[in-house]
Amino acid sequence: MAVKKKEKQAQAQNSQDESAPAVVEENAPAEDFPAELREAVWSVVSFDKCEASNLTYAEAEQKLTELEAQKVSGLCIVTDETAARIAGKN
């Protein structure tokens, strides 16, 4: 389904600019993932608090898994900026 969406986007782009080639990739290699996923800008929050911050996305996933094993409720990965706003409301 994602491929069809990319094809439609490419077709729409081409209809706007006939000189632009259509590029459709099914799966991007790991090194093409957005750089921000490798930056330490992610937090894990629960219903109660910010559980951890300044993590890469992979570290945040690992922390989330650890906290799930401890039965912590309401876990979510968000940016550090969002976590700070959540903390400011409490």
DSSP string, 36-80: GGGSS-EEEE-SSSEEEEEE-HHHHHHHHHHHHHTT--S-EEEEH
Please determine, for residue 13, whether its predicted confidence score (pLDDT) is greater than 80. no
Q: State the pLDDT at residue 90.
A: 66
pTM: 0.61
The predicted-structure confidence for 53-66, as pLDDT tens digits, reads as follows 999 999 999 999 99
Burial class (CB in 10 A: 0-12, 13-18, 19+), 44: buried
